[in-house]
Amino acid sequence: MISVLKLFFALLLIWMCYQVINTSIHSNLFKEWNFLGSIPWMRATLWDFYANVTVIFLWVCYKEKSIIRIIIWLILLIALGSIATCAYVLIQLFKLKPHEGLKELFYESKWMITQFAA
C-alpha cells in the first residue's frame, strides 16, 4: 500500500508541477487577478483552498517537532498549494520504515505528544 501511495503522490506532484508551469506560460495571474476576483466561483475556490491548507497544516503541526519547519511548511503550503502538499506527503511516506504503514503515517507525532504530554 505504501508503495502505491508513493507512486500516486509522485505522479500527482509531477502533474501539478506541469499544470502550474503550463498555465503560467500561457496566462499571467497578476494580469488576470481583477477579473478572476470578480468571479464568485473563483472566490469560493480560494476559500476552499485555504480551508484545505488549514487541515493539512494542522497535520504538519502534529507531525513536525521543529517550530521552524512548521513555519516553513506553512509558507510552502500557502505559496505552492498541492505541490507542497504532495511533497510533504511524499517525504512522510519515504520516512516510514519498511514494516510501518498508514497508522504510523497518520498517527505518529514528532512534536505535539512530547510537548504537551506533561
pLDDT tens by residue, 3-27? 999 999 999 999 999 999 999 999 9
Please give the average per-residue pLDDT across 54-67, as a whole number: 92
Residue 118 confidence (pLDDT): 46
Q: Which domain holds residue 80?
A: 2-116
pLDDT for 105 equals: 80
Closest CA to 80 of 104, 56, 113: 56
Counted domains in the chain: 1
CA gap 23, 116 in Å, rounded: 44
What average pLDDT does range 42-63 have in this prediction? 93
Please report which confidence band the pLDDT of residue 109 belongs to, taking 50, 70 and 90 as the band edges.
Answer: low
Report pTM.
Answer: 0.80
Joined together, the cell numbers standing for residue 41 give 466561483
